[in-house]
Structure 1
Amino acid sequence: MGRLLVSGAAAVLGLTMLTGAPTATARAVPLDGTFPSRIALPNGFQPEGIAIGPGPTAWFGSRADGDIYEVSLRTGRGRVISEGPGTPSVGLKSDRQGRLYVAGGASGTARVVDTDTGELLADLTLTTGTSFVNDVVLTRDAAWFTDSSQPQLYRLARTSRGPAASATTVPLTGDWVQGAGFGANGISTTPTGRHLLVVNSTSGLLYRVDPTTGAATEVDLGGASLTMGDGMLRQGRTLYVVRNRSNQVAVLRLSRDGLSGRLVRTITAADLDEDTSFDVPTTVARFGADLYLPNARFTTPPTPTTEYWVTKVRARAGS
């Protein structure tokens, strides 16, 4: 039957998640068959990361306790599939084998969760020093994690059978300037797939990183700034960079080698449907022609009743 988000009874009655916690209140699916433009997450959830697919299924991590919440993009209904360890779940990425790679924030860890069963497949300590393991991208043979507190990345080898038992630390060198505040945040790959792209949230600079050496080269953006740059998503030569507290998504057209790019569009609240909004979106994933962004609401004090939601917007790349 594939991946079922709720049992038949829960789908009809809107009762409880399998873990016993209540589901978020979902808006009705429009009669024209389109997916909802706003998806409610559980009150108090404190989302940060998102991963989508394969298929119209998304996963979100909680900064509050590390829970993983699974949602149907078609209906907006969801459930907790994996209870967290009490430490944050931040950046997320899913692979085609049904594994979810989770950045652990200030815990200095990474986890791997089975999205079908919720089973914890791996719980890895990436560093014991001061850290904020923030985001993750999957390449053909590795999961790469950023650390916003230290000028370094973590490489976790992966195969079709699963992740390695430990990760390798790769220092960032070359043009990289750590500076004060959050450093490396969002991470992606170049259009060729041979290098990594990493944004520095505080300086607003984008770097191309050689994965074999850690040598970073500043990407020429023609003067465009990516301050408050958070999660990133590359589709072909289009790079989406979420600028969290600016409530914007910068849309860049990259050169094939990833050494230059130009700002072609900025997605703002004006691009959203009238029934949704941005409130400090942190990262982005895509399904079909649409982008999905969880709103972390960093400027709103979190309480058990604070509302959180996911915003959908059309993924027009610009000219």
Structure 2
Amino acid sequence: MMEPSKKHRRRLVGPVLALAAAASVTTLPAVAQAAPVPAKAVAKAALGPAQLSLPAGFRPEGITSIPGGTDFFAGSMVDGRIWKGSLATGQGSVVVPGVTGRALRGMVYDPRSGLVWTVGTQGTGGIVLAVNARTGAVAYTYTVPDAQFLNDLAIAPTGIWVTDSRVERLLNIALGTGGLPAGSSYTTVPLTGAWPVVGNTRANGIRPLVDGSLLLAHSGAGGLWRVDPATGAATAVPIVGGSLTGGDGIELAGNLAYVVRGNGTGVSVLKLGYGAGLALTARWQGVISDPTFDVPSTTTRNGKYLYSINARFGVANPGAADYWVTRTPFKP
């Protein structure tokens, strides 16, 4: 999530941009996933409405889905309700009731455990929840009293990584057998190296790479950053053929990175690769946009499509406004 400054609405579909010449790059393998998903399941399209409605006044920010299935989940910044809907029918209901003083943002599904993990604010601190995707029961709760703005999260093979957008650190919850928590506490890793302390909202979207490092979007300084999870040392990822500003959520599919709001028009698509010395690089591929986008914040891939939350930051009367999810092809 990013702090809203004004309402944005984009209606032009961005063309695939010409790529500048670059040094030889070795293609990055598919990103690390919590558990393998059968190729047939990934290819299957749960095709339903192109626009999925959420309750009026819901104020969503995060979204996730079950690969190859039809269920998706969205969290509310009003009271932390979680909505479970169908990509095939557009129908859904609240499966986790709201709690006064709670706001949820990033969400991610772990196919090993069947848990939906989500992060956000609880009172003056932070909260990390793990919810049973089938029943909606809250299975695990972690409170982070000194958190400033828990924003997004990612599942790596051995742990959950969480961004705290106004503190230069990452949180880690260790995972064990079957993707279940290995303990009842969390650890923190400071962000160091070239990481810039610029802007009010900094570390935002996060995803793991196969080499064990983490890919982060920086909402204040812009760009993509590669972070060593053992030390927290960050290095900038050079982007060939374009630039990113105001990045929010990230989704990965193989060697493609989808950065929501990366250029202010929708979802920026970049191809990741390794250059000299295995330095991570990114090459601009284009922009996915749609007439129904209204400040998208995060996205989830399911089948041949992306499903993006329209957070509508800056909309008049957000407590009564309409909210929805937009379906687009996952390639520009």
Q: What are the superposed Cα offsets for residues 239-292 of structure 1, whole Å, 9 maximum, x if unpaired?
A: 0000178231110011145611111111123xx6xxxx0000001101100000
2:313 to 298, 301, 307: 298
Answer with 214-223 or 157-166: which moved more. 157-166
Alpha-carbon shift at residue 305 of structure 1 (Å): 2.6
**Pick from 50, 70, 84: which aligns with 1:70?**
84
Query: What is the SS of the residue equivalent to 1:85?
Result: coil
Choose which of 156, 161, 177 in structure 2 pairs with 1:139: 156
Q: Give the stretch that moved more between structures: 101-110 or 179-188.
A: 101-110
Paired position in structure 1 for 2:328: 313
- Note if 1:221 corresponds to 2:239: yes
C-alpha change, 1:245 and 1:84, in structure 2 (3 Å) is farther
Cα shift readout 1:113-167 (whole Å, capped 9, x = no counterpart): 11222211122123415x1100011011111000110111000111226223111
Aligned residue number for residue 196 of structure 2? 177
Structure 1 spans left out of the alignment, 5+ residues: 1-32
Deviation (angstroms), 1:308: 0.2
Cα shift at 1:301: 3.1
Contact 1:126 1:154 in 2 (8 A): no
Match of 1:157 among 174, 196, 208: 174
Q: How many residues align structurally?
A: 277
Q: Aligned equivalents of 2:262 and 2:125: distance in 1? A: 22
Q: Counterpart of 2:312 in structure 1: which amino acid? A: R
Partner of 1:91, secondary structure, is strand
Contact 2:47 2:87 (8 Å CA) reproduced = no
2:72 to 55, 58, 72: 58
- Contact 2:199–2:219 (Cα < 8 Å) also in 1: no
* Residues 253-292 of structure 1 mapped to structure 2, 5 A cutoff: 253-256=271-274, 259-269=280-290, 277-292=292-307
Q: How far off its partner does 1:206 sit?
A: 1.1
Of 90, 114, 117, the match for 2:132: 114
Is residue 39 of structure 2 the alignment partner of residue 41 of structure 1?
Answer: no
Please give the alpha-carbon distance, in whole angstroms, between the structure 2 residues aligned to 1:229 and 1:299. 17
Residue 283 of structure 1 aligns to a residue whose secondary structure is strand
Give the superposed CA RMSD: 1.8
Q: TM-score, normalised by structure 2?
A: 0.79
| Partner deviation per Cα, 1:161-193 (whole Å, 9 max, x = no partner) | 622311111100111012122100000122x24
**Paired residue for 1:250?**
268
Percent of paired sites with the same residue? 38
Q: Secondary structure at the match of 2:89?
A: coil
Answer yes or no: is 1:189 the counterpart of 2:223: no
Which residue does 1:230 correspond to in 2? 248
> Which of 141, 152, 162 is the equivalent residue of 1:123?
141
Q: Which of 114, 117, 137 is residue 101 of structure 1 equivalent to?
A: 117
Contact 2:246/2:261, CA 8 A, preserved across alignment: yes
Q: Out of 180-189 and 68-77, give the one that drifted further.
A: 180-189
Q: Verify the 8 A CA contact 1:244 1:280 in the aligned structure 2.
A: no
3-state DSSP of counterpart to 1:230: coil
The separation in 1 between residues aligned to 2:114 and 2:253, in whole angstroms, is 21
Distance in structure 1 (CA, Å) of the matches to 2:237 and 2:179: 35
Q: Which residue of 1 aligns with 2:11?
A: none
Deviates more, 1:219-228 or 1:287-296: 219-228
Distance 1:198 1:289 in 2: 24
